Homo-oligomer: A and B are copies of this chain.
Amino acid sequence: MERILATYRITASESESRVRAEALAAEQSVEMPVAAIGDERVRDEVVASVEAIRPHAGYFDVVLGIAPSTTGAEPSQLMNMLFGNCSLQPEVELIDVRFPAAFTARFRGPRFGVAGLREATGVHGRPLTCTALKPQGSSVEHLAHLARTFALAGLDVIKDDHGIADQADHPFAKRVPAVQRAIAEANRETGGNTLYAPTFSGGSRALAEQSRIAREHGVRLALVAPLLVGIPAFVELQEGLGIPVMAHPAFAGASRIAPPALLGTLLRLFGADAVIFPNHGGRFSYSRETCLEIARRAREPWENLRPSLPVPAGGMGVERVGEMVSGYGEDTMLLIGGGLLTAREHLAERSREFVRAVRGT
């Protein structure tokens, strides 16, 4: 099989580039001096190859060819080969990864993707709208009341705040039925179709129990932070769940893996139907180019993988809707959380403004 092409940016002088590139190739495959390997097949077929070195001012990019066989076609080992040991080298950043088609075929990617999310929400011809239940520590009753307000305003998706998990103030087993019921009632009143995306967290037993509760109460969308529960757990969760999953970037430490590679490419490979990422100009420092590249990666044609829905978020307000829609286009979900909640007693009104702004674009 062709190699996986992984591009690393190394902050070091150009004179070191060849030596550093060869060292990185050994580090990300056999993790021993190549000269000490007696088996010719291992040297030829297992050791990562240096495919290209591209010098820049003060750094250089190295493209390694990683043998697909070393990954076991399994998510944790793939991440290990891409960024296991070299994640500990502060001068090394993984900036891109490209897979041969035969390798991509070993993964399912998104099970629902953009089309599945449009079908579930019934939204066509415009971006989707999303907000978050906050703050953590609120009572279940308060969260359910908030959800009702948002659903009556016509939001497409209401997700848990990424900090609302399975805590004593709002245990999953109490919160999810209550919020789902509040949204279902609002949907009946308005004829709307708002979805609730609760946070799934914890180990495999907790995730299985949360899946059971979600199914029992008719939840139709899930929110998961793959880097927090572990990427293999994220993939396993999808199998039994049967509903689309939104990936949250918490704990992604994305400044060390370039955000388009981690959030756009890898999380799509691992099955995120929608990918939340920090929009430019908000609380996080991603540039506009980085954000547009994440969205491009999430939706570009890629073998047999469905596109993921980009979800720019983080410190957004209703006044930015026009600009975001013109930047990201239609196949997007706009997520405004705190920017609605700061309206306090005008929450319903601000929520309706958001909905109108997107519907009017």
Contacts and interface: CB of A to CB of B under 8 A. Distances in A.
A236 to B, nearest CB: 4
Interface string A295-314: 00000000000000000000
A77 B167 contact: yes
Interface size class on chain A is 35 or more
A136 B338 contact: no
A249 interface: yes
A65 interface: no
A121 interface: no
Contact of A46 (B45, B169, B231): B169
Contacts of A201: 72, 74, 76-77, 80
A100 interface: no
Interface in A62-90: 67, 69-72, 74-77, 79-81, 83-85, 87-90
Contacts of A84: 162-163, 225, 228, 250-251
Q: Which of A36, A135, A225 neighbours the largest number of chain B CB atoms within 10 Å of its CB?
A: A135
A54 interface: no
A206 B74 contact: yes
Interface in A162-202: 162-163, 165-169, 201-202
Given A36-B338, A79-B251, A136-B46, A284 B89 contact: yes
A130 to B, nearest CB: 15
B87 A29 contact: no
A142 interface: yes
Interface stretch (A108-116, A147-155, A253-261, A325-333): A253-261
A32 interface: yes
Q: Please tell me how many copies of the chain the complex holds.
A: 2
Contact of A233 (B23, B33, B233): B233
A87 B250 contact: yes
A7 to B, nearest CB: 17
B251 A30 contact: no
Nearest to A44: B137
Contacts of A35: 342
Contacts of A27: 283
A320 B84 CA distance: 25
A135 B42 contact: yes
Contact of A338 (B31, B139, B166, B229): B31
Contact of A30 (B37, B46, B80, B135): B135
Q: Which of A132, A138, A204, A253 neighbours the largest number of chain B CB atoms within 10 Å of its CB?
A: A253
A230 interface: yes
26 contacts: A29-B135, A29-B136, A31-B163, A32-B338, A33-B338, A36-B338, A37-B135, A42-B138, A46-B169, A69-B167, A69-B169, A70-B136, A71-B167, A72-B167, A72-B201, A75-B202, A79-B228, A80-B201, A80-B251, A84-B163, A87-B250, A88-B249, A204-B236, A206-B232, A229-B230, A230-B232
Interface of A: 23, 27, 29-33, 35-39, 41-42, 45-47, 67, 69-72, 74-77, 79-81, 83-85, 87-91, 132, 134-139, 142, 161-163, 165-169, 201-206, 225, 228-233, 235-236, 249-257, 278, 283-285, 337-338, 341-342, 344
